[in-house]
């Protein structure tokens, strides 16, 4: 069985792979931000708050974020950095449930490598991802 990488090693490897694959900025450009998102995706977070006291869940809260902002590069037959984020299993490759040092949390936090690729309410989406991971990264609620 394959060993899991520590969070700092995984983050460094993910960042390196994403940069090598052309994600995280365009070569020869002074701006690391992606093309402007559509007006529809720039309005607000794609998720409603979870029920009172309930944690965020992948299907209801995180998958819409991944679909809107991540799977454009991270899906299909040749996903960027070899990372397909179109499924729960794929996302869990970069998540350690309960750990804020998970690669997904680190790259989507403010200042993180993929933060600028979040459309609309970036801070809100980043917080949903962080809270979901911290609460144990459940698939459904």
Token pair 């690669």: residue: 103
Let me know: does 50 contact 56? Beta carbons within 8 Å: yes
Domain boundaries, the chain: 48-141
**Residue with more model confidence, 18 or 108:** 108
| Torsion angles phi and psi, residue 113, rounded to 5 | -55, -35
Residues 103-116: tens digit of each pLDDT: 999 999 999 999 99
Residues 24-36: tens digit of each pLDDT: 543 333 333 344 3
- Distance CA(37)–CA(34), nearest Å, equals 8
Least confidently predicted of 5-14, 65-74, 81-90: 5-14
CA distances from 135 to 27, 41, 63, 72, 114 (A): 37, 26, 16, 27, 22
**Residue with more model confidence, 79 or 5:** 79
- The closest of 119, 120, 81, 73 to 103, measured between CA atoms, is 81
- Distance CA(139)–CA(82), nearest Å, equals 22
Read off the tokens for 46.
Answer: 């794609």
């Amino acid at each position: 069985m394959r060993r899991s990488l520590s969070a700092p090693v995984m983050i460094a490897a993910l960042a390196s792979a994403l940069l090598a694959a052309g994600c995280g900025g365009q070569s020869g450009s002074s701006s690391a931000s992606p093309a402007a998102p559509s007006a529809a995706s720039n309005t607000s977070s794609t998720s409603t708050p979870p029920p009172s006291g309930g944690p965020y869940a992948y299907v209801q809260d995180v998958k819409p974020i991944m679909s809107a902002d991540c799977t454009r590069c991270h899906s299909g037959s040749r996903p960027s950095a070899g990372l397909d984020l179109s499924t729960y299993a794929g996302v869990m490759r970069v998540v350690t449930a309960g750990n804020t040092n998970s690669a997904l949390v680190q790259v989507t936090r403010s200042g993180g490598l993929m933060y600028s690729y979040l459309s609309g309410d970036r801070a809100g989406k980043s917080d949903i991802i962080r809270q979901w991971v911290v609460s144990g990264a459940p698939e459904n609620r």
